[in-house]
Structure 1
Amino acid sequence: MNTSQQPTRSGSASSYSASRDSSNADGSLLNQAGKWLNKGSVGDLLGRMSTTQKVVGGALLAVGVAALLRGNKAGKATKAGSNAQTDTLNELLYFVNDRIEGYQRAVQESQDPQLSGYYKQLVSQSQQFANELNGYLRQQGGGRQEGTTVKGKLYRAWMDAKAALTGADEKAILGSNIYGEEWALKAYKEALSDNTLSGTLRQAVERQYQHSQNTYDRLKSMEGKQE
């Protein structure tokens, strides 16, 4: 899903060098962020880190997410061939699974019964979305996709670290959900715009996209009431 942008052969030597150095820098930062993420739970890790290390770790995660977002744009342009529809489904499912984990996290952290209840509904809705898309994937000979995006993992780890340092409140949880829903909407838009989906599958994705848009609108309305 994540690919590095390659320089064109027609570019100058200096352009190639700059692109290669940028790619190497992004890869190095992502590797460092990945090592930081895989060392253990966020709570345990924070207990072993100095304030400077916490700040550096957070910066690495932020830069890693930005690099992955750039990589995703480059990767979309290379997708082609007879398996394009399966590729689109797999990619969309990564973000739907991110949506599941994001709202599960919100359920665990929220202390507001009404908000927590709504987040539980969104977990269930996201699981239904994933089941539906996996059903279409199975019809095309693919295996069930239960993975999440690396950028989603990094973002949730960063939010966990932030909550551990500053505390989690309902406004912060809501803001995180809005950000996650924006990612989901972007994924649905890209899946519908690359012209690989057709028939009942496209209709299903369009329906899920509309539900996601409705969710985003409701979350934004809830945010406005908290201000």
Structure 2
Amino acid sequence: MEDYRELVHDLIQINNDRIAGYTKAIELLIQEEDQDLRKVFVYYRSQTQKHVTQLGAFALNLNLNQSKAPIVQGELFRIWMDIKTTITGTDRYSILMSCDQAEGTYKQAYEQALRNLLNVPLSVTNTIRQQAEHQYMEHNHIKTLRDAG
């Protein structure tokens, strides 16, 4: 990939959407017994903020404007989560289901990025691979929590 600006931009945006999604999930978890899940979501949000910071350094080198509008997938997810929680409620299982589905979207974004790493500098490639691995493990953890609850 000669110009990897779009790749970096899309990953920044999907990570910003992930931050917004976990922020929303944290807000919805108001029961005392859900504090353990809140801590998990706070941690995942923090990890994702680190991902944005890492990608932001590459964006700076590319003179890339990071403030563009979010990509459609993330925007649709936030709207869908708002509607879904209105209909199904804010119980633990429903929130975990929503997060699992969102993680599927994020996973697709990283899989797409991994397929497009040809001619991308090694430092960017390594960062994207590491972030994809984090996301994969976190997605599996969300599935485990969902299935347990």
Counterparts of 1:192 and 1:113, CA distance in 2: 34
Counterparts of 2:19 and 2:113, CA distance in 1: 18
- Of 128, 132, 135, the residue aligned with 1:205 is 128
Counterparts of 1:180 and 1:171, CA distance in 2: 14
Matched length:
145
| TM-score of the pair, normalised by structure 2 | 0.89
RMSD, aligned α-carbons: 1.6
- Number of the residue aligned with 2:11: 92
Bigger relative contact order (CA 8 A; separation at least 6): 2
Q: Runs of 5+ in structure 2 lacking a partner?
A: none
- Number of the residue aligned with 2:26: 107
Match for 2:8: what amino acid? L
Runs of 4+ in 1 over 6 A off after TM superposition: none
Q: Runs of 5+ in structure 1 lacking a partner?
A: 1-79
Conserved in 2, the CA contact under 8 Å of 1:134 and 1:145? no
* Structure-2 change in CA distance of 1:122 and 1:161 (3 Å): same
Counterparts of 1:190 and 1:151, CA distance in 2: 13
- Number of the residue aligned with 2:71: 149
Pairwise CA distance, 1:145: 4.1
Identity %: 26
- Per-residue CA deviations over 1:77-122 (Å, capped at 9, x if unaligned) read xxx7x4x211111112221111111111111001310001110111
SS at match of 2:39: helix
Conserved in 1, the CA contact under 8 Å of 2:12 and 2:66? no
| TM-score of the pair, normalised by structure 1 | 0.60
Conserved in 2, the CA contact under 8 Å of 1:103 and 1:122? yes
Larger radius of gyration between Structure 1 and Structure 2: 1
